[in-house]
Structure 1
Amino acid sequence: MMDIVLLGPPGAGKGTQAEILAKEFGLLHISTGDMLREEIKSGSELGGKLAEYINRGELAPDSIVNQVVINRMSQKNAGKGVILDGYPRTKVQAESLDKSLEKLGKKLKMVLYFKATEQVVIQRLAGRRVCKKCGKNYHETNMPPKRYNVCDICGEQLFQRNDDKPDTIKNRLLVYEKSTKELIEYYKEKKLLKEIDGDSSADKLFNNIKCFLEK
């Protein structure tokens, strides 16, 4: 059983590494951001409320996020373990997660903290493009599609998320830094936190993470 949390600012490389690690170790990748965006896309009342927060670059309320994540972790295909990407974001969420894991007979193996500079984060996010249909991420410079603005997998049009625009990115970074200070200290005290260089290439990041997990 291997339950892992990935922490770090938007654009630090968490999503890319989560996908690679999920395949390498047979884990379930739980992206809170993706799940919340699916709720928004559904057009539900809850989705409408969530959209207001996300489009402003703010965090969704703990009560909503906690329930979405725990429901997903309780599913059968989470048997080998999960990678939590984008959750928890606050100490309150972390404490709630610990209690929920205890009820499920689980506990965290490790918390990987991706430290990335603001310049790198802005460059990555401002150039990110996402498939409207399958949700695959691309980057205009670092990882472009074979055909301009068209998904390699399903052929659907790519788009830029509202929260990936420069003005919103800076607000997201401020919100993230303010909300996670206590969270970082919380996991340091529990001796679960491992810091890695989020400015590194995807290959180097993966090799560093793999070394931590295989110890």
Structure 2
Amino acid sequence: MTEPVTAQAANFLPGPVLLLGAPGVGKGTQAKALMAAYGIPQISTGDILRSNISNGTPLGKAAKTLVDQGTLVSDDLVNEMVADRLKQPDTARGFILDGFPRTLNQATWLDAQLSDDPNTLPVVAISISVDYEQLLHRITGRRISPAGRIYNIYSNPPRTPGICDVDGSTLVQRPDDSEAVFTERMKTFQAQTAPVIEHYRNQSRFEEINGDQSVEQVTADIEAALIRLRQYPNS
């Protein structure tokens, strides 16, 4: 097994990190682990959008008009918000991108944006890979108690089907955890994000990690991959 390299985190400059992978592979969990290890922020386009709208910034006002009309916020507007966020001082050592770049157009914009700053490292992409059937089980098998306890009927079932082990409450399946919704999300992923994976794979700034392991082992593999990519970017 690969040993975690968190002990080296204080002296390691992770730079911009993009976590990729299909819905349910565990990107959010791994992003939190990397934030803790390296002291870098997670940059979520959803959070940026909500922050701009709530603060009434010029970008937020433009976005709110589109949202109120039921129109998707354009790539150009999202790019402007990301560019503004990357100017903040907490990104100096690096950052983890969440939900961006989601398309090839956004990826090429990001590369150009980062290359304009000689003090910023290029983004490295790490794709977490899990077998389709395993992902399907992770999503559709999820059951949640009213208190937020999470079970999975395949990998972590309650002792009594449909009942929380702790308080005896009824477990529910969220509407978003249905097979129909998962199938649509996978179609979107294949259409939009799969080309982003190939974009970075072709630039030798990419590694694929087996996500069908313990959370701790996936974290260790990601940290090791980051060090390899920063030390030997063209290997």
Is 1:94 equivalent to 2:135 in the alignment?
no
Letter in 2 for 1:139: I
Letter in 2 for 1:125: I
Is 1:122 equivalent to 2:136 in the alignment?
yes
Is 1:203 equivalent to 2:216 in the alignment?
yes
Confirm or deny: 8 A CA contact 2:19 2:128 kept in the other structure: yes
1:22 is aligned to 35
1:74-93 map, 5 Å: 74-93=87-106
Distance 1:94 1:161 in 2: 32
Q: Which residue of the other structure, out of 135, 139, 143, is the alignment partner of 2:150?
A: 139
Q: How many residues align?
A: 196
1:152-171 map, 5 Å: 163-171=176-184
CA offset at residue 17 of structure 1? Answer: 0.3
SS in 1 for 2:209: strand
1:180 is aligned to 193
CA offset at residue 65 of structure 1? Answer: 3.0
CA offset at residue 84 of structure 1? Answer: 0.8
TM-score normalised per structure 1: 0.72
2:122 is aligned to 108
List alignment gaps of at least 5 residues for structure 1: 54-59, 132-136, 149-158
Distance 1:41 1:116 in 2: 36
Distance 1:39 1:85 in 2: 17
Letter in 1 for 2:206: L
- Alignment RMSD (CA, Å): 3.9
Residue identity over aligned pairs, in percent, reads 32
Confirm or deny: 8 A CA contact 1:15 1:31 kept in the other structure: no
- Inter-CA distance 199–77: structure 2 relative to 1 (3 Å threshold): same
- Inter-CA distance 164–103: structure 2 relative to 1 (3 Å threshold): farther
Confirm or deny: 8 A CA contact 2:111 2:123 kept in the other structure: no
SS in 2 for 1:214: helix
CA offset at residue 73 of structure 1? Answer: 1.8
Distance 1:39 1:167 in 2: 33
Distance 2:176 2:66 in 1: 19
Letter in 2 for 1:140: Y
- Inter-CA distance 9–73: structure 2 relative to 1 (3 Å threshold): same
CA offset at residue 19 of structure 1? Answer: 0.5
Letter in 2 for 1:204: Q
- Inter-CA distance 109–179: structure 2 relative to 1 (3 Å threshold): closer
Structure with the greater alpha carbon radius of gyration: 2
Letter in 2 for 1:74: K
Distance 1:193 1:212 in 2: 9
CA offset at residue 198 of structure 1? Answer: 2.1
Tell me whether 20-29 or 71-80 shows the greater mean CA deviation.
71-80
Letter in 1 for 2:150: H
Distance 1:109 1:193 in 2: 9
Confirm or deny: 8 A CA contact 2:115 2:122 kept in the other structure: no
CA offset at residue 146 of structure 1? Answer: 10
Q: In the TM superposition, what whole-angstrom CA distance separates every residue of 1:93-136 from its partner, at most 9, and x where no partner exists?
A: 1110011112343232521011122223233334276x9xxxxx
CA offset at residue 15 of structure 1? Answer: 0.8
Confirm or deny: 8 A CA contact 1:3 1:82 kept in the other structure: yes
List alignment gaps of at least 5 residues for structure 2: 1-12, 56-62, 159-163, 229-235
SS in 1 for 2:225: helix
